[in-house]
Structure formats: C-alpha cells, structure tokens
Chains A and B, each alone.
Chain A
C-alpha cells in the first residue's frame, strides 16, 4: 500500500519536525536567568498563537463573511471564558448557519 519512495519522505518530514521540538526541550535544562530571555519566552506563546489565527482565520471557511462571523463568535465566547470545545463548536456552527443563509 505504501509507495516505495514514501518512507524516506516520511522520515525527513517527521525527523525535522521532531528535532525542532526536541533540541530546546532537552538542552535547556536549567532555569534561564536572563531577564530579557525570560520575558521573551513569556510573550512568545501569545504572539505565535495570535498571529497564527489572524489573518489566516479569514480564509479558513468557504467565504470571507462566514469566516469573519465565525471568528467574531469565537472571540465573544472566549472573552466570557467558555471552554475550548464550546468555543470551537459555536464558531463552526456560526460559519455553518452563515453559509446556509448565503446560499439561500
């Protein structure tokens, strides 16, 4: 079932991805003391995650309008600290309903 040349590809892909995750986690074993580095690492999660969402979310569904509405719904319910699943489902539902209405 596997193509002959598939396994080398798989190894390269998985290997590079794993190395990127493994090297810092294994080699940074002591607590960092430098204040800038501590602060930088403190801010990196929110920076990466927010720039991964915007603007990509606007192109994640069938139309810009439904994506914007889906995202707006996600922001509102996140603000009221609903769980991850609730927010994700409500957001999908909003996109679904919007596209139903668009296609009417």
Chain B
C-alpha cells in the first residue's frame, strides 16, 4: 500500500505551513490575551477554527460581548472564500476519498493547506490530506498557546518581523504559478488591482476586508474564465 507514503508526504509538505502558522498564531495568541481572552480560550478558538482573518475579527466581538448574529455574519463574510476553495478542492480529490473522509478534510481546508494541496500534480488521497492538515493544526494551536502565555514579553521588533511570515509564505505559493502561466499572471494582476481599489478609493474603502477580498477574487477569476478558459474536463491545471 502507498497510503503510508501518502500520509508521510502530507506531514512533510505540511511542515512549512506548520512553521509559518506557529509564528502567525503566536501573534494571534498575544492579541487574544490582550483583548481579554484566557489562554485556554485562545487556544480552543485556534484549534476549532483554523483560520487567521476570521479569528482576528471574531475575538473583539466576543470580548465586547457582541451578539451571536454579528459574530456569525463576520465569519460568514470573511471566510466565504473557503466556499470557492472547497469547490475547487472537491474537483481534485481522488475517487477513493469517501464521504466521511470529505467531512474530515473539509475541516482543514485553509488558504495555505489548499494552496499546497493544489500544487500537487496528482489527484489527492485522504491519507495525504490528513498529513497535510495535521502538522499545520498542531503548529497553529501550539503557536496560539505560546503567544497567549508569552503575552507581551516579546520585544516589538520580533512581533513586527513575524507579521510578514504568512504573507511571505503565500507569496512563495503564488509567484511560481504566475511565472508558469500567463492566465494565472493576468488573474493575479486583476485581483490585486481590484483589491487596491477597495483599499485606497474612498467610497470603496467602506467595504469590509473580508468582502473586498472575495469580490476582487471572484471578478478576477470570472474575467479570466471568460478571456482564457481552460480546456479539458479533468485536469484543468495541466493546461496552464
């Protein structure tokens, strides 16, 4: 059986994500405790949510005693990008993946796990996905715990440097794709231009961050799907 190598490869591929997550969730832990959450509460949020932007938005709502609807809506908007990522990932899962396994894999479909999973040339087996999810979950939870415990002990300059870790990681995922395919390059360029419009043009600035990301990405992807459609029913990635 190849299933062991699948799991081991997943663990290995998840290692960089784990390290990146540790540093980012460390910052989240510091933030959560400063907002008034307990160490255990902060760690539980990370373990069950496994998402950076949603957690950053959720903690102030919880700590200010905000309403459940407000909390649910904030998560819905900021994390709506996962709908598209899961739809995309669903097309790449191996035929051997069963329904119960899909319920488990869904839990770990974060931006980075998704990006690394999609960078595989082959279809994705459940064992590989489990490995790829496990290491980042550990890093994300332990990082939060460490950050919450350390509090504000860490000098600001270290926190500041750690702040770009996640973006460096995402850049390392995107740039090689952009280099390989003209369609991907155009798509990234459109998305970034739209994202900057939402950030810098006054009336558009009102749109919450989660919304602007999803609107920009959907418009850019739809535009490219019309301008440069990929052919082939099964392996769309091979076409690029």
Taking A24-B84, A54-B192, A71-B168 as known contacts, 19 extra A-B pairs with beta carbons closer than 8 A to each other, sorted by chain A number, are A1-B40, A6-B41, A12-B71, A22-B102, A25-B89, A25-B90, A26-B106, A38-B236, A47-B220, A48-B81, A48-B85, A51-B192, A51-B213, A60-B164, A62-B160, A70-B161, A78-B174, A88-B23, A88-B168
Contact size range, A: 35 or more
A36–B225 touching, CB < 8 Å: yes
Interface set, chain B 26-54, CB cutoff 8 A to A? 38-41, 44-45, 48-51, 54
Nearest A-chain residue to B119, judged by Cβ: A45
Whether B204 sits at the interface, judged by CB under 8 Å, is no
B183 interface residue, CB < 8 Å from A? yes
B115 CB contacts on chain A under 8 angstroms: 45, 49
Q: How far is the CA of A70 from the CA of B172 in the complex (A)?
A: 13
Residues of B with C-beta under 8 A to A79: 175-176, 179
Contact B171 A51 (CB under 8 A): no
Structural contact, B229 and A44, CB atoms closer than 8 A: no
Complex contacts, A52 vs chain B, CB 8 Å:
111, 170, 213
Contacts of B167 in A (CB 8 A): 53, 56-57, 60, 70-71, 74, 91
User: Measured between alpha carbons, how far is A53 from B216 in the docked complex, in Å?
Assistant: 12
The answer to whether B187 touches A47, judged by C-beta atoms less than 8 angstroms apart, is: yes
Question: In this complex, which of B17, B41, B167 has the most chain A Cβ atoms within 10 angstroms of its Cβ?
Answer: B167
Query: Is B184 among interface residues, defined by CB-CB distance under 8 A?
Result: yes
Q: Is the CB of B188 within 8 A of A85?
A: no
Asked whether B157 lies within 8 Å of A18 as measured between CB atoms, the reply is no
Q: What sequence of 0s and 1s flags, for each residue 30-57 of chain A, a beta carbon within 8 Å of any chain B beta carbon?
A: 0111011111111111111111111111
- Could you give 14 example pairs across A and B, Cβ below 8 Å? A3-B38, A12-B71, A39-B224, A39-B230, A41-B236, A45-B88, A45-B118, A47-B188, A56-B167, A57-B164, A88-B16, A91-B164, A93-B161, A95-B160
Task: Report the nearest B residue to A88, measured CB to CB.
Answer: B168
Query: With A13-B71, A49-B173 known to touch, is A28 a contact of B106 (CB < 8 Å)?
Result: no
B54 touches which one: A13, A35, A50, A66 (CB < 8 A)? A13
CA distance A98 to B32 in the complex (A): 28
Q: Which residues from A are CB-within-8-Å of B20?
A: 84-85, 88
B109 touches A25 (CB 8 A): yes
